[in-house]
Chain A
Amino acid sequence: QQQVRQSSQSLTVWEGETAILNCSYENSAFDYFPWYQQFPGEGPALLIAIRSVSDKKEDGRFTIFFNKREKNLSLHIKDSQPGDSATYFCAASASSGSWQLIFGSGTQLTVMP
């Protein structure tokens, strides 16, 4: 049973559009949700993160919308660029427990020029 689930394995958008990547989780104890971006041949890199006390976190073109009641969140990438083409991982952890991050299976985003 996946604790963190990303429903789309892949997503294709056109340059300039808003890409929306979805994520859901099972464990109510999770309270920290980072998104990591990974390019081929590299390790993942932190993109943006949110804590469960907030329902929105914005950083430039990237915004996380968080719904605690529904146990889901989404990453919105506004004005998508070809350089945003990468795999995006949603992750979760509980601050009361181990520092272990549980990752979703990832969504491969392709931005067409």
Chain B
Amino acid sequence: NAGVIQTPRHKVTGKGQEATLWCEPISGHSAVFWYRQTIVQGLEFLTYFRNQAPIDDSGMPKERFSAQMPNQSHSTLKIQSTQPQDSAVYLCASSSPGQGNERLFFGHGTKLSVL
């Protein structure tokens, strides 16, 4: 079991460019969560999917951020027109059926740096 896989580990973009972050949940897990981590704001919830369906995106900035889960083996977080304040570690987590949010398995994260 390789755990939750996030790629790339580091991404550097210029201001105004697009960034796509990838997450492969643990096989068999039915829920996928996205969080953003910064020193100032800590761990912020962005969105989550259950059985590939978007359930709660209340933490997603309404402009420029979007998340998808086209199949059970991966999810993407896309940030359009990146800004320096988007610089953060983006964490993906998954949980097994029946566990809900009781045990989240996090990936190592993607560190996004917007210059």
What CA separation (Å) do A91 and B108 show in the bound complex?
19
**Is B101 within 8 A of A99, CB to CB?**
yes
A112 at the interface (CB under 8 A from B): no
**Is B42 within 8 A of A104, CB to CB?**
yes
**Is B42 within 8 A of A106, CB to CB?**
yes
Name the one of B58, B101, B108, B109 contacting A101, with C-beta atoms under 8 angstroms: B101
A62, chain B: closest CB distance, angstroms: 15
Within 8 A of A (CB), among B87-115: 91, 93, 100-109
B59 at the interface (CB under 8 A from A): yes
**Is A45 within 8 A of B106, CB to CB?**
yes
**Is B108 within 8 A of A102, CB to CB?**
no
What CA separation (Å) do A89 and B4 show in the bound complex?
20
**Is A103 within 8 A of B91, CB to CB?**
no
Question: Taking A43-B91, A89-B43, A104-B42 as contacts, is the C-beta distance between A98 and B104 under 8 angstroms?
Answer: no
**Is B106 within 8 A of A43, CB to CB?**
yes
A32 at the interface (CB under 8 A from B): yes
**Is B42 within 8 A of A103, CB to CB?**
yes
Q: Which residues of B are found within 8 Å of A93, using beta-carbon distances?
A: 101
Q: Which residues of A are found within 8 Å of B58, using beta-carbon distances?
A: 98, 100
What CA separation (Å) do A103 and B43 show in the bound complex?
6
A51, chain B: closest CB distance, angstroms: 10
Question: Taking A43-B93, A43-B109 as contacts, is the C-beta distance between A49 and B43 under 8 angstroms?
Answer: no
Q: Which residues of B are found within 8 Å of A98, using beta-carbon distances?
A: 48, 55-56, 58
B42, chain A: closest CB distance, angstroms: 4
Which residues of chain B have a CB within 8 Å of any CB of chain A? 4, 31, 33, 35, 42-45, 48, 50, 55-56, 58-59, 91, 93, 100-109
12 pairs across A/B with beta carbons < 8 Å?
A32-B101, A34-B103, A42-B106, A43-B109, A91-B43, A98-B55, A98-B58, A99-B55, A99-B56, A100-B48, A102-B45, A103-B35
